[in-house]
Amino acid sequence: MKHHISSTITVSDISVEVVRKNIRSLRLAVYPPEGRVRLSVPRHTTDEYIRLMVASRLPWIKKKQAHIEQLPRQTELEYVSGECHCYQGKHYLLNVVERCGKHELVVDDHKVEMILYVRPNTIKEKRALVVERWYRQQLEKAIPALIEKWQPIIKKQLADWGVKKMKTKWGSCNITDKRIWLGLELAKKPVICLEYVFVHEMVHLHERYHNANFRRLMDKYLPDWRLMDDILRRPQLEHGPSGA
């Protein structure tokens, strides 16, 4: 079953992705790196109301887009020696070593280095998959401890969980199935961010919406959650080769 319907409208030269879904209130967001605008609305919201709402928020949208334009841009990663890659909020220098045998990533915390072992002539996309697989493994190792810690506190039981690549979210929760997903990019953020997103999604098992009750529960379980949210939203400063 399709859970939402997407369309695009243009208001004063600003393109807005409109997503109609089963929610109670409107949610407007502007996403880096291009300043993409997305508006989630209750399923039966009229086009006229959507246009009026977007028009009334144009100054806010343009302000957000201008802020995003000023953020440091992340260079597209090439997965070659000399690049900076992030893990748990720290920056590591990538060292690509070609050899026969299996592909693997080894992290040397002492040297603050990631060593990527690949077979000769391995293309960029396959190198990226090796790194992503390692990130996924680290998250999958960390999550069971969070489940053990937080299920008794929040008094909710998960039926399932997983890690996947997400474009616009850090996590998601299927309340009916009692399943949460955590974004792969969380592996790059400080550990406290992973815990924050995990608790955030678990709290949705009590409260579906981001309303006052949701914030009250977050304050109860994780009083510093707003600080963690701020850290999570800071731009990731990975970059390309640092050498000449």
Give Cα 231 distance to the centre of its chain. 12
Whether 242 shows a pLDDT value over 50: the answer reads no
Q: 150 and 158 in contact (C-beta within 8 Å)?
A: no
Distances (CA, A) of 31 to 72, 151, 168, 207, 223: 14, 32, 7, 25, 26
- Residue 189, SS3? coil
pLDDT digits (tens, 9 = 90+) for 89-100: 999 999 999 999
| pTM (2 d.p.) | 0.73
How much is the pLDDT for 64?
Answer: 86
Homologous superfamily in CATH for domain 84-233? Metalloproteases ("zincins"), catalytic domain (3.30.2010.10)
How much is the pLDDT for 243?
Answer: 33
pLDDT digits (tens, 9 = 90+) for 11-34: 988 999 998 888 888 889 887 667
How much is the pLDDT for 111?
Answer: 86
How much is the pLDDT for 124?
Answer: 95
How much is the pLDDT for 244?
Answer: 25
Whether 113 shows a pLDDT value over 80: the answer reads yes
What span, in angstroms and rounded, lies between the C-alpha atoms of 234 and 49?
33
Residue span(s) of the chain under CATH 3.30.2010.10 come to 84-233
